[in-house]
Structure 1
Amino acid sequence: MANTTDRAHTPAGPTFGWCHWHEGPSGTAVMVRVVEQGSGPGAALYACAPCREQRGLTPFSEQQP
């Protein structure tokens, strides 16, 4: 009998991102800055919790428009 996995009930594993400030992987990285460009795609910069604390960076979702 075939083994099947119901993906709807499979817990997600830890997610890892990239911190642009210390230039390394991080499990706590969130977007803190959006770089807009006139032509072409923009960019999003991410920072981990220690870098946000050290540099006074606020997560993008908490910034005022």
Structure 2
Amino acid sequence: MEFWDGDRLNIDINPFKGMTYRVELMHYLMFHPINQADLPDELDLYRLGGRKIGLDGSQ
């Protein structure tokens, strides 16, 4: 959304990076801090930036 000006996208989308865009979106949805789904600990291997930290500061 950072490239949306309310009328159109202000960035060129590379059609050859379609898989990369999908992977980035999947990672964002799964590991976003407000995602309340109980994810298995094994998925922490794929979390960019380290392990999940709870809203109360616990890991």
| TM-score, normalised relative to structure 1 | 0.22
Higher helix share: 2
* Higher RCO (CA-CA < 8 Å; seq separation 6+): 1
